[in-house]
Structure 1
Amino acid sequence: MRKGTHVVAAVAALACAVTLGACAQIPTSGPVRVSTANADPQVDIALLPQGPAVGAEPRAIVSGFLGAAVAATTSPKEFQTAREFLTDDAAGTWDPDGSVRVVREPPLLEPSVSGVDVKDGETVEVAAHATTIATLDTAGTYTEVGNPRELSYRFTLTQAGGEWRISGLDNGVLVPANLFANQYRATRLYFPAEGNIKSFVPDMRWFPRQSWRRDAVQELLAGPPEWLQGATRSLVPEGTQLVSPSIQDTDGNEPVAVRLSEQISTAPAAERSVVAAQISATLSEGAGRTVAVDLFSDTSRLSVDQTDVDLPATIVQAMALQDDQLYRVEDGRLVEHDVPVDLSALDPTALALSPATTPVVVRDGTDQIVNVSSDDEGGPVTLIVGPDLAAPSVDKFGNTWSSGDTGELQVSTKTVEVVEVEPDWLSGRKVLSVSVSPEGSRIAVVSQAPTGTQVQVAGIVRNGEKVPVDLAPPISVAAPVARVEEARWSGLTTLALLASDGEGTSGVWNAGVGGLPGAGGQSKQLPGLTDVVQLAAGVADKGIMVITKDGDLEHEETGVWQPLAEDVDLVAYPG
């Protein structure tokens, strides 16, 4: 067989659909049901796919099916039209939710060689060739593919009654990358932190636009994903289900009715209010406003009090080190810091500070992590010692993180006790970078093995004293980005990455933990700089800062790098 050059017409036509806005954030604190989201609303566009034409040839049938399957996520008919291209038996067994493959370009169709005359009951085969760059599982979790390669998806067609229909195919759908964000809605779910139910931890998912509200609430009811187990919890009583098959948005500020099964009424009032806040925060994603929620137990409206919750945010300004002097980075300039530090006997090679301003921590050379803001009359206090330590990260509870031997992390607690965290998934890997999220429930780890570097994010499991004891199984982030050296939290569910080509050229990438909103899920390189040596980032519009090889401190603003200062040694946001 010779590969055809025909691009799936129905799928390509959808590329003309209006591009939707990026997923926006909701407020980071305050009453969830009252405050106003500072965001551009996402607009849902319904596409109406066409059914099979009379007398259509096999290739046209497959082409039409692929287009109808993609359009189904926004069509009021959902997958009804797509099933018209299938035989009755295939229509009854095909599961469109079985898998979603995001492909680089619309599939190319290649028919099998067949005879000129085909009798009823005989079959032909059509192959669709496409390169998968990401997958979406049944829970809406987006994962980029590290080494994309072209695969062949085969469709068997049968002619009955003079019309071709698909009788054999794989479950799932193929979605071209340029259409993915139009058809699937980026939505953050929010789960209560294990040690503080009013501290929300976000988890990015992607749902079909036609059913995103229903799917999002169902996933909230299902509880935290594996990678957040032990770091977050569910307050939803076991067995609670969504009673209504759909959740309809309302005009203006009217509450959205969410009808759950009677188990929800057994939740304590305080926890029920947090569940309502979870749903409100999730439904507010991209709405341009805070969506109020009325909870129902079947048909009975429940009394739910308003509650204040917190979303991850970097509150304190960045700090920079210049000529052994600490400065605050304020309004585009360096302002001398009032915390006394003594760096005279140290060789600072990395800087970290607590979300609570102190401690201020530096890496001394490559083998020592030191608290330089200690009140101890003896001066700086050594926290962690070891060869080739990763740049430190200080969490909101005052614990200082760095690397350890292969396969482990070292954490210095507030009492300067060093604990080792050795998750199974780090076995045999050298840790290059660690970064704890502002709320303290997640950690981004860059590690290295002979096969290359890997960026992973996992929930942090802590004991009653907030000391970390383990990490949950991780999810992979930015798999296509090679030679990552450093990762820093730059948004609720985004990371800024410093990557190098190994030959002196380095740059900054944005990557999504669960997909990057506004980029169709895919990691994206920021243009303009190729000589970055250090990276810092903050959550909630703080932005990204870098230091170049020449010591220039630059700040990224809407895709443009703005110079702030020269001859800067180190820079860090809290965390």
Structure 2
Amino acid sequence: MRRPALLIVSAALFLAGCASVPTSGQVNLGANVTGGNSFDAVVPVVRPPRVGDSPVEIVSGFLQANVSASDDYAVARAYLAPEVTETWNPATGATIINDSNGVQLVRRGSRVLLSEPQVGQLSSVGTYVPSPRNTQLDTDFTVRQVDGQWRIDGVRDGLLLTPTTLNRVYTSAERYFLNVDESRLVPDRILVPIDRRGLLTSLVRGLLTGPSAWLSPAVRTAVPRGTKLDIDAVPIEGTTAVVDLTEQALAANDSQRRILAAQIVWTVTSIETVTAVRITVNGQPLPLAGLGDVLSRKDFAGVDPDGLSAKSSAFVVVGRRLNQVTTAGIAPVAGVFGEGSVRLGRIAVDFAQTRAGSTVSVAGAQSTIYLADLKPASQVTPVAGQVPALSLSYSLAGDLWVASQGSVRIIKASGKVSRVRVNGLATPVLVRVARDGARALVIASSGGQRQVYLMRIVRSGGQYQLESPQLIQNSLTSIVDCAWNDANTAVVIGSSRTGVTQVYSVSVGSPDVSAAGGVASMSAIAAAPGSALLVEAPSGVWENSGLGWRLSVARGRSPAYSG
């Protein structure tokens, strides 16, 4: 029996054209390189097929060429048989595979087989979703000779990429929509090829069309029906993009036009090379009372998805007192939570920093949650009939979200309690509501492992639902806690395949994850934009402002920022 040909393709070959393809051996990936969201990433050079390439070398070359979108993937198409060149559709999306041990290709007759762990999927519109752990991609390529040279005559639509190549040749961008109250923008992240012409045009066109299918039920848009680009292009003048809309945009009233402008400005400036936007309708400036013709994010700071007040600060519990962290140290908060009369557990502070909630440990108490205003002479408001709570999280609306083993509830400022339906996860144990109010991080237990999911928040008839869970990162397990750092980044205490428990920064909507170290026996984490990471350990609360971990509050616990 003929022995199948075997080739292990180095990940490096996906990144640059090489003079020859190895026929044996294996090469491991180095550190993950993030492309970021600018145009300044490296675009790899790929080569066309060579005379005499074997079937395995042809498939290997085709996979290498998947990284280059230039001229509609012209180099990749050169590896295909003529009839397949016309029918292969790379625009259906991409499958991301783990090549940490090299990509193994095996020839069996007229077929070349590939079997590798699948990391994630990139949709046709650029939405990235991690695949469940232990997902395996099994696919094959059929080959035949064309004029004496091997070519691929059977291939699945879409691209095959690795996490490293994805980060090198794709860039992240966000389309911004509105939460249901139209008080905050909500990012809808997509990944797009760096060398695609008309990237900004495609980005704005997508904004005008509407949000991704996953996010759509949780958001709104101020784009009037039928609004399009008047000229199907978004030119750049220096660092200012020009967005010219059709006359349908004028159907919006003054307040809606302002929100529309905010959506456009935040979307276009998600590309780092753009700092400002001019919005016109049929060539004339879009009427925006009190604003100039050239707009930046500062003009719409009120709908910032991270939306924390400049006065926002951190809080920690020391002994029985809730303390506010200041530049001078810590100081007990005003009111009953700062007096030491209540044995505080896990705490949460609302966005206005005027009210807090805490799990409590009081012998014989019928309630596990106390609420209190952060002002002098305040009293606790017990919320009766609650099962033990595992996490507390305030929403932008001032509602306290309470997660217990397998259930999620909301406590209104009035004290009314309502249950949240959780669709798609059987045992949620922790919920962190995003500052935009449209999304949440949810830790759930499955098969003995705790993992972090992104879920959308949908309101219907006054009731809330958490829907459509998506893993935010499939390489992390044994999750202890998580928090929102900013609108596009989560921080997680957990372990990777190395088994080491530490803090990880996860870019939501992309495969990017980076380790931030940590300290022994971490049990809670808190984060906020532009602020230090805080973790709880037996010795106290530790902080990391980018220069490493240091003990911030000895014997402190339950660190929290607003939310």
TM-score range, shorter chain: 0.7 to 0.9
Corresponding residue pairs, total: 528
Query: Is the Cα–Cα contact under 8 Å of residues 485 and 500 in structure 1 kept in the other structure?
Result: no
* Deviation for aligned residue 1:317: 0.2
2:536 is aligned with 1:541: no
Q: 1:234 aligns with which of 205, 209, 221?
A: 221
Q: In structure 2, what residue type is equivalent to 1:310?
A: V
Tell me which residue corresponds to 1:359: 355
Tell me which residue corresponds to 1:54: 51
Q: Deviations over 1:519-549 (max 9, x none)?
A: xx233332242310221111x2123101112
Q: CA 1:378–1:244 in structure 2 vs 1: closer, same or farther (change >3 Å)?
A: closer
Distance in structure 1 (CA, Å) of the matches to 2:131 and 2:321: 44
Distance in structure 1 (CA, Å) of the matches to 2:484 and 2:354: 19
1:473 counterpart SS class: strand
Tell me which residue corresponds to 1:145: 131
Tell me which residue corresponds to 1:37: none
Map 1:509-548 to 2 at 5 A: 509-515=504-510, 521-538=511-528, 540-548=529-537
1:479 counterpart SS class: coil
Distance in structure 2 (CA, Å) of the matches to 1:243 and 1:422: 43
1:181 counterpart SS class: helix
Distance in structure 1 (CA, Å) of the matches to 2:230 and 2:57: 40
Q: 1:498 aligns with which of 474, 493, 518?
A: 493
Query: Is the Cα–Cα contact under 8 Å of residues 334 and 375 in structure 2 kept in the other structure?
Result: no
- List alignment gaps of at least 5 residues for structure 1: 25-40, 115-123, 516-520
* Deviation for aligned residue 1:445: 1.8
- List alignment gaps of at least 5 residues for structure 2: 19-28, 292-298
Query: Is the Cα–Cα contact under 8 Å of residues 229 and 459 in structure 1 kept in the other structure?
Result: no
2:7 counterpart SS class: coil
Using the aligned pairs only, state the percent identity.
21
Q: In structure 2, what residue type is equivalent to 1:201?
A: V
Distance in structure 2 (CA, Å) of the matches to 1:42 and 1:204: 16
* Deviation for aligned residue 1:418: 1.0
Task: Output the TM-score relative to the length of structure 2.
Answer: 0.84
Query: Is the Cα–Cα contact under 8 Å of residues 9 and 64 in structure 1 kept in the other structure?
Result: no
Map 1:306-321 to 2 at 5 A: 306=291, 308=300, 309-311=302-304, 312-315=306-309, 316-321=312-317
Q: In structure 2, what residue type is equivalent to 1:166?
A: I
2:120 counterpart SS class: strand
Q: CA 1:189–1:341 in structure 2 vs 1: closer, same or farther (change >3 Å)?
A: same
Distance in structure 2 (CA, Å) of the matches to 1:165 and 1:553: 61
* Deviation for aligned residue 1:413: 0.7
* Deviation for aligned residue 1:415: 1.0
Q: CA 1:391–1:151 in structure 2 vs 1: closer, same or farther (change >3 Å)?
A: closer
Query: Is the Cα–Cα contact under 8 Å of residues 9 and 63 in structure 1 kept in the other structure?
Result: no
Q: Deviations over 1:189-242 (max 9, x none)?
A: 21122212x521122221111233233223312323344344320222334445
Distance in structure 2 (CA, Å) of the matches to 1:8 and 1:403: 42
Distance in structure 2 (CA, Å) of the matches to 1:557 and 1:14: 40
Tell me which residue corresponds to 1:370: 370
Map 1:90-489 to 2 at 5 A: 90-105=84-99, 108-114=103-109, 124-148=110-134, 150-196=136-182, 199-211=184-196, 212-242=199-229, 246-252=233-239, 255-260=240-245, 263-287=248-272, 290-297=275-282, 300-301=283-284, 303-305=286-288, 306=291, 308=300, 309-311=302-304, 312-315=306-309, 316-331=312-327, 333-341=329-337, 344-365=340-361, 368-373=368-373, 379-383=379-383, 385-403=385-403, 406=406, 408-426=407-425, 428-429=426-427, 431-450=428-447, 452-462=449-459, 469-489=464-484
* Deviation for aligned residue 1:294: 2.8
2:67 is aligned with 1:67: no
Distance in structure 2 (CA, Å) of the matches to 1:64 and 1:302: 49
Task: Output the TM-score relative to the length of structure 1.
Answer: 0.82
Query: Is the Cα–Cα contact under 8 Å of residues 369 and 385 in structure 1 kept in the other structure?
Result: no
Root-mean-square deviation over aligned CA pairs: 3.3
Higher relative contact order (CA 8 A, sep 6+): 1
